[in-house]
């Protein structure tokens, strides 16, 4: 497979430049029209054997999820995705058909959520298959949300239900039959949904003080919000919404469903800190506009408390980081 021929195939698959793009694939760089709002810029890298396994996921699934991860980052800051560039390091066991299937999955996600692939690179690799996605988004200056604005007294709420992605991964590892709610969990793991519409519905009520997407796991991402905001957080275990699929898979393989929900990464649900007085109308509006639930799970407290988990029996303990964290160094 030659690089130039493959790039031409990719160019044909993607098509010509869309609105907001003057020059797309085929030149030294893309030329974009200035956006009317502020620009969000985010990127993620995905490595075979770390972020995905080909015996679990098709290349279309991998491409879709790589794109969705970036879309979710843009959504969590109150914006909409616009353009993206993709670089692919092609390992020795990868065919031209694999790469085109990967791009097909990325295109499905990009077009579904309003982004356009405007460039990138394809290179050969002697070992791992790696995908790197960088994305631009646009956000109204009055609707920018970060993870660092939570204040003591805020209620903490989350969209949807958690645990499905981790349950799906555990089901694949355990070799469970892919049917019923197990199938639902597996699809949640392979093809998650970014919460763009939910973020906008939340903003329609009032700008949240802080917001973050659940990408590394609730237990880890709450720590990110607490650290960046300089606050403490109290999470109530029995309030965490656990998906039915996660409960069923957890029961089948002997795991605690709440622990699965706390650790589950790549959920892409939104955790939001906002005044307690706004929670009820926020939940009603989000549900009416998107059909997605909004559940109170805890509250923001003064700095120094750390991130605490209150168990069903009232016992309180520090919330450990049970979500995913890359380890850099020889232990990899």
Q: What is the pLDDT of residues 44-70, one digit of tens each?
A: 999 998 899 999 999 999 999 999 999
pLDDT bin (cut points 50, 70, 90) of residue 321 is confident
Kindly tell me if the per-residue pLDDT of 94 is higher than 90: no
Q: Which two tokens stand for residue 63?
A: 């491409």
Q: With 0-12 CB in 10 A as exposed, 13-18 as middle and 19+ as buried, what is 93? A: exposed
Distance CA 226, CA 233 (A): 6
Site of tokens 């497979």: 1
Longest dimension (CA), the chain: 63
Q: List domains and CATH numbers for the chain.
A: 3-143 (3.30.1330.10), 154-318 (3.90.650.10)
Kindly tell me if the per-residue pLDDT of 128 is higher than 90: no
Q: What is the pLDDT of residue 324?
A: 55
Backbone angles phi, psi at 88, to 5 degrees: -125, 125
Distance CA 94, CA 29 (A): 26
Distance CA 135, CA 84 (A): 4
What's the pLDDT tens digit per position in 170-196?
Answer: 999 999 999 999 999 999 999 999 999
pLDDT bin (cut points 50, 70, 90) of residue 92 is confident
Kindly tell me if the per-residue pLDDT of 325 is higher than 60: no
128 or 272: whose pLDDT is higher?
Answer: 272
**Residue 134 contacts by C-beta under 8 Å, 6 or more apart in sequence?**
41, 42, 43, 70, 84, 85, 86
Q: Which residues of 242-258 are buried (b: 16+ CB within 10 A; e: fewer)?
A: bbebbbbbbebeebebb
Q: What is the pLDDT of residue 70?
A: 97
């Amino acid at each position: 497979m030659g690089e130039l021929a493959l790039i031409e195939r990719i160019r044909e698959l993607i098509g010509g430049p869309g609105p907001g793009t003057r020059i797309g694939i085929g030149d030294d760089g893309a030329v974009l029209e200035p956006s009317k709002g502020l620009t969000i810029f985010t990127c993620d890298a995905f490595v075979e054997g770390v972020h995905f396994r080909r015996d679990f996921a098709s290349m279309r699934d991998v491409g879709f999820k790589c794109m969705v991860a970036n879309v979710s980052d843009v959504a969590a800051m109150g914006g909409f995705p616009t353009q993206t560039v993709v670089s692919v390091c092609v390992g020795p066991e990868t065919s031209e058909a694999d790469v085109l299937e990967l791009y097909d999955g990325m295109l499905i996600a990009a077009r579904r959520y309003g982004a356009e692939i405007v460039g990138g690179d394809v290179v050969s690799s002697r070992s791992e298959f790696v995908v790197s996605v960088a994305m631009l988004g646009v956000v109204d200056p009055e609707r920018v949300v970060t993870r660092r604005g939570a204040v003591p007294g805020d209620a903490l709420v989350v969209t949807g239900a958690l645990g499905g992605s981790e349950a799906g991964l555990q089901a694949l590892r355990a070799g469970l039959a892919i049917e019923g709610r197990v199938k639902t969990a597996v699809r949640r793991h392979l093809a998650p949904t970014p919460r763009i519409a939910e973020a906008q519905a939340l903003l329609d009520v009032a700008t949240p003080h802080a917001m973050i997407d659940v990408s590394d796991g609730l237990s880890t991402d709450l720590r990110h919000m607490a650290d960046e905001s300089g606050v403490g957080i109290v999470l109530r275990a029995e309030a965490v919404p656990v998906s039915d699929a996660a409960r069923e898979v957890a029961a089948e393989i002997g795991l605690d469903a709440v622990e699965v929900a706390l650790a589950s990464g790549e959920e892409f649900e939104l955790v939001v800190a906002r005044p307690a007085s706004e929670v009820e109308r926020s939940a009603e509006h989000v549900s009416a506009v998107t059909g997605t639930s909004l559940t109170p799970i805890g509250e923001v407290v003064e700095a120094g408390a750390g991130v605490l988990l209150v168990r069903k029996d009232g016992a309180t303990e520090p919330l450990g980081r049970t979500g995913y964290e890359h380890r850099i160094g020889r232990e990899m």
